């Protein structure tokens, strides 16, 4: 009989109390130091308004703080964010020390304990773990409002907070730490907060590579240690996961330099530079790991005789490498294990090399095999601990980062592909000027005919239109990289706004022109024909597209080119990637309609995959806010529809969330553990019987439709665009230098053309948070009025159904972040009184309705009772936020008046202050778009 029990978590109130006691203590220390620095800089007047020092809480925003005052508040919020991050990490460590590894929800220990308690054996788990594949994808979506130099200084200040945790410091040493903090704060104060020019793609790429090269390799080892410790704590046999091949796979991806959807600056040259820089950094990571390994394996052959397997391997490498091999082994005589590692280093490609010839490694899997040989040779002489602690982590590093660091996806809009193909067909003498208006049947007939032949449509030197040149130049760059370096660093060809099968088959035809599609021997029932070297991935974004997505995927998976391509990529276990867009579906139909349609689509897409014997790798395009798919990682995974997760998961990490989640190793380890452990546990549970919530599906259909109707009715009201334009700082955000990509897809000034990021960003800045909750009140009211029994069932299901709880909890979080009085302050900026009163009246009424009915759905208890940490966190920030918001409202009024008066110079002089207020509010809210 199994006696394992999962320790209970401490009560919510005690967790909140201990966390906030820690925050209060640290914020007093940090803000006291900052106040001293400001005073020394001659800024006593604004120092007196510094929040959380006992004085500034009285400020209600009526005091004119000016540019330096806004900067002070912005830095103060950044410091608070660091204090909260450190307090969360220290609280988790304290709970783990007190309650053990099994107590913390979402982590390896808790998941493994629950799996073991439910009867899952270690042997069964080891059969699953190697099939877990998790891939965070770093994107440069423009929601990171901080300069890279400022982010680096934040990292340094955070390390001082961590350093101070060590109780061994003497009072004098503690004072030294405070002096370091003061110096860092003075540097931050003198640096300046805002970007004066938009970042270029090269700087965005450097930012992504920083995390991939400097943070994640170290975190990978921590993650594996956490798994092994939790595995033993849960009572599983540690020998089962000794081999690195038995551990989950963690990979990384990026869009920086590959995402060209509405981004004219991402050219073929930029993509080539990104591939080269990623490869250069990837090889550097591997070279560094091998050099450290060589230093640690100084075992002498005079003390232990090397096994024959090692001697044979050394001779094999010496024969392969010739003079380079002789030089490598001459450095460490009598130390055969070190000599072997030197030979591995000698086989590495040059940093950033774009063409590799034998005997150098072409693929990282070859190096992994050689490292495994090294590990086994150490075990043969009894040095098992060295094999586990020194060699296995390097194996994992190479398996995760390879020679490419991260795979680079190529994303382009289906409309661009459509224009490119029309131009290409015209060049080939086919009348396709009206191609976009052709019926789907006629398009498929032509595409199928083309995909039966390997010949290109046009000569490589042919002159095409702009879109054809753009796409083909990109694909040819990818083909050149594949020829020189292999496909390991190449991700997927992602088709944004996928609306039909022809959108996907078009990519095969275009890829054929660049040599990415060629003839292969297909699986038996399909036979030989064309296949694509890289996966073609649909991205379903709008609610209508999500509704059509299962049919599109079904037809795509049935197509012979797709079947051959999947077989080419992995004949043993065909995997089709499908990307889901959260932002546009929310902007399209509101938050709950988005969440429910995504949920239903995933279930139906998974069924389409099973029909064709194909596993789906869902790629979740989640942003940094609830309106764009964000939410607690472990709750997000728990909420996935049953059977949709087979262990293979990708998801985007965008904008400011990258720094928030990964800037510091302890926080990065925690967030990646939530992701990998949660994916593993959810995958195991999805293999069991499905819970039955079918009796609630029809209710949620009605709730989604009613909430969507309310949301759409607001957006189509007369004057809504006027309200949005004047009651939010959207006009400022469109001038902010927070990303290399334009805020509009085509430059047209319409709501449809506006990207979801500035849409959400502007509503958050004005404290409406409208995309994250609007419509749910009307939806719930409709259910309650028309079907009280259904409303009662919702109240029951929100306690037992993870999806419903996750969706409504996220919406409630956004509602808790709304400030009705600040909403009114921004609404007062709308010059047309009738528009203002009508639109704001509806927003305020919907807010009150949503707040009341959500509380009723959650059982009648207030959010302060149920979620004390959230409420107290928001309350802590509110006094400082009010001051900045009032400053921003005053600045907006003055700036817009100057523009209306034609005073361009005056408006331009005021713009930096406005941009600084945007940064300050984003820091205070811990979110942009």
pLDDT of residue 152: 84
Cα–Cα dist 621/579, whole Å: 7
Q: Is 141 a catalytic residue?
A: yes
**C-alpha pair distances (Å), 728 with each of 720, 741, 758, 812:** 12, 21, 10, 22
Mean pLDDT of the region 245-257: 96
Q: How confident is the model at residue 301 (pLDDT cuts 50, 70, 90)?
A: very high
- List all residues 6 or more positions away from 349 whose beta carbon is below 8 Å from its beta carbon: 283, 356, 360, 361, 362, 403
Give the range among 441-455, 456-470, 500-514 with minimum mean pLDDT.
456-470
In the chain, % of residues over pLDDT 90: 76
pLDDT at 744 over 60: no
Q: What is the DSSP string of 577-643?
A: EEEEESHHHHHHH-HHHHHHHHHHHHHHHHHHHHHTT-EEEEEEE--SSGGGT---HHHHHHTSPTT
The residue-averaged pLDDT of 816-824 equals 96
Q: What is the phi/psi pair of residue 894, to 5°?
A: -70, -45
Contact 447, 536 (CB under 8 A): no
Q: Which of 479, 422, 471 is nearest to 447 (CA)?
A: 422
Q: What is the pLDDT of residues 331-354, one digit of tens each?
A: 899 999 999 999 999 999 998 788
Q: Of these residues, 111, 141, 417, 768, which one is catalytic? A: 141
- pLDDT greater than 90 at residue 742: no
Rounded-to-integer distance, Cα 32 and Cα 38, Å: 10
Give mean pLDDT, residues 631-659.
Answer: 91
Given the residues 49, 587, 642, 661, select the one marked as catalytic.
Answer: 587
**pLDDT tens-place string over residues 520-561:** 998 888 999 999 999 999 999 999 999 999 999 999 999 999
Any idea which residue has 């709730």 for tokens? 703
pLDDT at residue 413, as a whole number: 96
Tally of CB atoms within 10 A around 833: 8
Mean residue pLDDT of the chain comes to 91
pLDDT at 570: 85
pLDDT at 59 over 50: no
What average pLDDT score do residues 292-308 get? 95
pLDDT digits (tens, 9 = 90+) for 184-225: 999 999 987 655 556 788 888 998 999 999 999 999 999 999
Q: Is 194 exposed, middle or buried (0-12, 13-18, 19+ CB in 10 A)?
A: buried
- Look up 22 and say whether it is catalytic: no
Q: ω before 359 within 30° of 0 (cis)? A: yes
The token pair that represents 571 in the structure block: 């004949």
- Straight-line distance from the first to the last Cα atom of the chain, in angstroms, rounded to the nearest whole number: 51
Q: Is the pLDDT of residue 56 over 50?
A: no
Among the listed residues 497, 495, 501, the one whose alpha carbon sits nearest the alpha carbon of residue 756:
497
Q: Kindly tell me if the per-residue pLDDT of 146 is higher than 80.
A: no
The H or E element spanning position 356 is none
Query: What is the per-residue pLDDT across 768-794, written as a single tens digit (0 to 9) for each?
Result: 999 999 999 999 999 999 999 999 999
Average of per-residue pLDDT across 259-263: 88
In angstroms, the CA 97 to CA 116 distance is 22
d(CA 696, CA 791): 10
CA-based nearest residue to 483, from 615, 362, 650, 309: 362
**3 state DSSP class of 374:** helix
- Asked whether residue 380 carries a pLDDT value surpassing 50, the answer given is yes
Residue 697 pLDDT grade (very low, low, confident, very high; cuts 50, 70, 90): very high
pLDDT at 143: 45
* pLDDT surpasses 80 at 589: yes
Pick from 14-28, 513-527, 578-592, 604-618 the range whose average pLDDT is largest: 604-618
75 is written with which tokens? 């830095």
Q: What is the pLDDT of residues 363-377, one digit of tens each?
A: 999 999 999 999 999
494 closest CA partner among 557, 553, 536, 449: 536
Tokens of 648: 């293979």
Handedness of CA 374, 376, 381, 382 (dihedral sign): positive
Amino acid 8: pLDDT: 54
Q: Does residue 142 surpass a pLDDT of 90? A: no
Q: Which residue has the higher pLDDT, 11 or 31?
A: 31
Q: What is the pLDDT of residue 237?
A: 97
Strand partners, 493: 410, 536
pTM above 0.85, yes or no: yes
Taking Cα atoms as reference points, which of 371, 48, 397 lies closest to residue 224?
397
According to the model, what pLDDT value does residue 922 have? 87
Q: Are 647 and 680 in contact (CB under 8 A)?
A: yes
Q: Say which residues have a Cβ less than 8 Å from residue 929's Cβ, sequence separation at least 6.
A: 143, 623, 624, 625, 628, 655, 756, 757, 758, 759, 760, 761, 764
Q: If 0-12 CB within 10 Å is exposed, 13-18 middle and 19+ buried, where does residue 785 land?
A: exposed
Q: Looking at per-residue confidence, does 743 or 879 come out higher?
A: 879
Q: What is the DSSP letter of 744?
A: B
The whole-angstrom separation of Cα 542 and Cα 552 is 14
Which pLDDT does position 213 carry in this prediction? 96
pLDDT at 6: 52
Whether the per-residue pLDDT at 706 is higher than 90: the answer is yes
Most confident stretch, 42-46, 389-393, 572-576: 389-393
Q: Answer yes or no: are the C-beta atoms of 415 and 463 closer than 8 Å.
A: no
Please write the tens of the pLDDT for every residue from 650-670. 999 987 789 889 999 999 999
What is the Cα–Cα distance from 154 to 659, expressed in whole angstroms?
Answer: 10
How distant, in Å, are the alpha carbons of 45, 133, 397, 767, 889 from that of 884?
A: 16, 43, 45, 12, 9
pLDDT for 111 equals 96
pLDDT at 852: 97
Residues 6+ positions from 186 with CB-CB distance below 8 Å: 37, 40, 41
């Amino acid at each position: 009989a199994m006696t394992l029990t999962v320790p209970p978590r401490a009560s919510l109130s005690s967790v909140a109390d201990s966390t906030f006691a820690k925050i209060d203590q640290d914020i007093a220390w940090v803000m006291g130091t900052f106040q001293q620095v400001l005073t020394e800089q001659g800024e006593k007047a604004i120092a007196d308004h510094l929040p959380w020092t006992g004085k500034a809480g009285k400020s209600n925003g009526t005091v004119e703080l000016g540019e330096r005052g806004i900067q002070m508040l912005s830095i103060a919020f950044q410091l608070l964010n660091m204090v909260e991050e450190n307090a969360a990490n220290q609280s988790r460590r304290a709970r783990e020390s007190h309650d053990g590894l099994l107590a913390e929800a979402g982590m390896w220990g808790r998941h493994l304990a629950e799996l073991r308690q439910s009867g899952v054996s270690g042997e069964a788990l080891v059969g699953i773990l190697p099939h877990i594949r998790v891939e965070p994808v770093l994107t440069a979506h423009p929601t990171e409002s901080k300069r890279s130099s400022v982010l680096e200084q934040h990292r340094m200040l955070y390390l001082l907070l961590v350093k101070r945790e060590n109780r061994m410091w003497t009072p004098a040493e503690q004072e030294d730490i405070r002096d370091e903090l003061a110096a860092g704060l003075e540097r931050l104060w003198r640096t300046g907060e805002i970007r004066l020019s938009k970042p270029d793609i090269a700087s965005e790429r450097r930012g992504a590579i920083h995390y991939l090269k400097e943070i994640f390799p170290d975190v990978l080892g921590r993650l594996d240690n956490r798994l092994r410790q939790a595995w033993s704590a849960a009572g599983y046999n540690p020998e089962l996961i000794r081999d690195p091949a038995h551990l989950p796979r963690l990979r990384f991806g990026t869009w920086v330099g590959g995402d060209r959807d509405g981004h004219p600056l991402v050219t073929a040259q930029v993509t080539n530079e990104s591939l080269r820089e990623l490869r250069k950094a990837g090889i550097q990571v591997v070279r560094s790991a091998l050099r450290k390994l060589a230093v640690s394996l100084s075992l002498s052959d005079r003390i232990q005789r090397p096994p024959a397997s090692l001697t044979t391997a050394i001779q094999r490498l010496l024969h392969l490498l010739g003079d380079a091999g002789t030089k490598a082994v001459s450095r460490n005589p009598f130390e055969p294990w070190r000599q072997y590692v030197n030979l591995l280093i000698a086989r590495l490609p040059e940093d950033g090399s774009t063409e590799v010839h034998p005997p150098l490694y072409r693929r990282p899997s070859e190096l992994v095999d050689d490292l495994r040989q090294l590990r086994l040779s150490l075990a043969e002489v009894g040095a098992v601990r060295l094999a586990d602690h020194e060699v296995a982590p390097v194996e994992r590093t190479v398996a995760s980062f390879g020679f490419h660091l991260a795979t680079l996806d190529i994303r382009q809009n289906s409309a661009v592909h459509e224009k490119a193909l029309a131009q290409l067909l015209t060049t080939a003498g086919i009348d396709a000027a009206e191609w976009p208006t052709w019926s789907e049947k006629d398009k498929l007939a032509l595409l199928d005919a083309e995909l039966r032949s390997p010949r290109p449509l046009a000569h490589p030197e042919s002159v095409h239109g702009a879109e054809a040149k753009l796409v083909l130049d990109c694909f040819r760059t990818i083909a050149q990289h594949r020829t020189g370096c292999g496909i390991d660093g190449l991700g997927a060809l992602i088709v944004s706004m996928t609306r039909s099968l022809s959108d996907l088959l078009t990519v095969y035809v275009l890829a054929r022109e660049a040599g990415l599609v060629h003839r292969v021997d297909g699986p038996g029932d399909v036979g030989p024909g064309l296949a694509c070297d890289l996966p073609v991935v649909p991205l379903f974004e709008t609610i209508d597209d999500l509704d059509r997505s299962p049919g599109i995927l079904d037809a795509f998976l049935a197509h012979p080119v797709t079947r051959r391509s999947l077989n080419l990529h992995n004949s043993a276990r065909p995997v089709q990637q499908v990307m889901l867009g959260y932002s546009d579906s929310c902007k399209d139909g509101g938050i709950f309609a988005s969440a429910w349609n995504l949920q239903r689509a995933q279930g139906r897409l998974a069924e389409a995959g099973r029909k064709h014997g194909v596993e789906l790798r869902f790629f979740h395009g989640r942003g940094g806010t609830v309106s764009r798919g964000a939410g607690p990682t472990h709750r997000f995974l728990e909420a996935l529809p049953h059977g949709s997760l087979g262990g293979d998961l990708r998801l985007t990490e965008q904008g400011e969330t990258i720094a928030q989640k990964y800037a510091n190793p302890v926080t990065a380890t925690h967030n990646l553990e939530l992701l990998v452990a949660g994916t593993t546990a959810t995958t195991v549970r999805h293999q069991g019987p499905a819970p039955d919530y079918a009796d609630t599906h029809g209710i949620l259909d009605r709730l989604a439709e009613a909430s969507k109707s309310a949301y759409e009715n607001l957006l189509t009201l007369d004057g809504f665009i006027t309200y949005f334009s004047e009651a939010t700082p959207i006009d400022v955000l469109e001038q902010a230098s927070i990303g290399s990509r334009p805020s509009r897809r085509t430059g047209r000034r319409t709501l449809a053309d506006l990207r979801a990021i500035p849409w959400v960003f502007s509503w958050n800045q004005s404290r409406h948070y409208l995309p994250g909750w609007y419509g749910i009140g009307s939806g719930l009211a409709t259910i309650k009025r028309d079907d009280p029994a259904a409303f009662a069932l919702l109240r029951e299901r929100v306690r037992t159904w993870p999806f419903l709880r996750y969706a409504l909890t996220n919406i409630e979080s956004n509602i808790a972040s709304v400030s009705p009085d600040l909403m009114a302050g921004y609404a007062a900026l709308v010059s047309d009184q009738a528009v203002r009163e009508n639109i704001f009246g509806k927003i305020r009424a919907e807010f009150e309705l949503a707040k009341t009915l959500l509380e009723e759905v959650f059982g009648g208890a207030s959010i302060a009772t149920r979620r004390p940490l959230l409420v107290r966190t928001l309350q802590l920030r509110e006094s400082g936020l009010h001051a900045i918001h009032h400053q921003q409202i005053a600045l907006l009024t003055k700036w817009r008046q100057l523009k209306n008066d034609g005073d361009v110079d005056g408006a331009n002089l005021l713009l930096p202050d406005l941009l600084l207020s945007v940064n300050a509010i984003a820091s205070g809210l811990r979110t942009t778009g």
